Structure 1
Amino acid sequence: MLNCDQLLGLATTLLKIDSTNVACSLSRLAKGLNNNNYLLVVGEARYLVKEYRAHMPVDALFQQQRLSLKNITTNPIAWHTKAQVAVFDYWPGQVYRGQEWARFLPLLLDVHQSFRPKKHSKQDWSIDLTQEFQRIVFNDERESKAVAQALLRLNDFPDYTAYCHNDLVIENLLCDGESLRMIDFEFAGFNDVYFDLAALAVSLQLAESEAMRMLRAYHEFDAGSPKANEEKLKVYRYLYIVLCKHWYLTRGHTREATQLDMQLHLWS
Structure 2
Amino acid sequence: MTNLAADLTALAQALLPTLHVERIERLARGLSNDNFLLQTNQGKLLLKCYKGEVPVPLLNIQNALADMGITQSVRAYDCDKRIALFEFIEEVAPFTALDVSLIQCLVTLHEYQGLDNTVPVDIISFVKKLTLKELECAEHHMLRAVKLIESLPRDLAFCHNDLVFDNLLNADRGPRLIDFEYAQYNDVYFDLAALSCSFNLDTHAQNALLKTYYAHRHLTLPDYAIGKLLAYQIVYLLLSIEWYQSRGAHSYARPLIARLHSLVD
TM-score (norm. length: structure 2): 0.89
Q: Percent identity?
A: 29
Corresponding letter in the other structure for 2:255 = Q
Residue 187 of structure 2, aligned match among 192, 195, 199: 192
- Tell me how far 1:142 sits from its aligned partner: 3.3
Deviations 1:139-169 (A, max 9, x none): 1573234323322321211111000010000
Alignment of 1:173-212 (within 5 A): 173-176=168-171, 179-212=174-207
- Tell me how far 1:115 sits from its aligned partner: 2.0
Alignment of 1:145-164 (within 5 A): 145-164=140-159
| SS across alignment from 2:185 | strand
* C-alpha contact 1:198 1:233 (8 A) present in aligned 2: yes
| SS across alignment from 2:150 | helix
Residue 240 of structure 1, aligned match among 222, 236, 239: 236
Residue 46 of structure 1, aligned match among 41, 44, 47: 44
- Tell me how far 1:131 sits from its aligned partner: 3.7
| SS across alignment from 1:246 | helix
Tell whether 2:258 aligns with 1:262: yes
Match of 1:66 in 2: 64
CA distance in structure 2 between the aligned counterparts of 1:141 and 1:31, rounded to whole angstroms:
30
Tell whether 2:7 aligns with 1:12: no
* C-alpha contact 2:46 2:85 (8 A) present in aligned 1: yes
Corresponding letter in the other structure for 1:60 = L
Q: Which runs of 5+ in 2 are unaligned?
A: none
Match of 1:132 in 2: 126
- Tell me how far 1:225 sits from its aligned partner: 5.7
**Alpha-carbon spacing, 1:152–1:3, altered in 2? closer, same or farther (3 Å):** farther
CA distance in structure 1 between the aligned counterparts of 2:179 and 2:86, rounded to whole angstroms:
11
* C-alpha contact 2:101 2:174 (8 A) present in aligned 1: no
- Tell me how far 1:84 sits from its aligned partner: 1.7
Tell whether 2:142 aligns with 1:144: no
CA distance in structure 2 between the aligned counterparts of 1:138 and 1:205, rounded to whole angstroms:
22
**Alpha-carbon spacing, 1:102–1:179, altered in 2? closer, same or farther (3 Å):** same
CA distance in structure 1 between the aligned counterparts of 2:52 and 2:161, rounded to whole angstroms:
16
TM-score (norm. length: structure 1): 0.88
Alignment of 1:116-131 (within 5 A): 118=116, 121-123=117-119, 126-131=120-125
| SS across alignment from 2:48 | strand
**Alpha-carbon spacing, 1:9–1:265, altered in 2? closer, same or farther (3 Å):** same
Tell whether 2:108 aligns with 1:113: no
| SS across alignment from 2:146 | helix
- Tell me how far 1:87 sits from its aligned partner: 0.3
| SS across alignment from 2:23 | strand
CA distance in structure 2 between the aligned counterparts of 1:34 and 1:94, rounded to whole angstroms:
25
Deviating more after overlay: 90-99 vs 180-189: 90-99
* C-alpha contact 2:210 2:221 (8 A) present in aligned 1: no
* C-alpha contact 2:94 2:169 (8 A) present in aligned 1: yes
CA distance in structure 2 between the aligned counterparts of 1:23 and 1:194, rounded to whole angstroms:
42
Alignment of 1:17-96 (within 5 A): 17=18, 22=20, 24-43=22-41, 45-93=43-91, 96=94
- Corresponding pairs, count: 260
**Alpha-carbon spacing, 1:174–1:248, altered in 2? closer, same or farther (3 Å):** same
- Tell me how far 1:135 sits from its aligned partner: 5.3
Q: Which runs of 5+ in 1 are unaligned?
A: none
Deviating more after overlay: 170-179 vs 221-230: 221-230
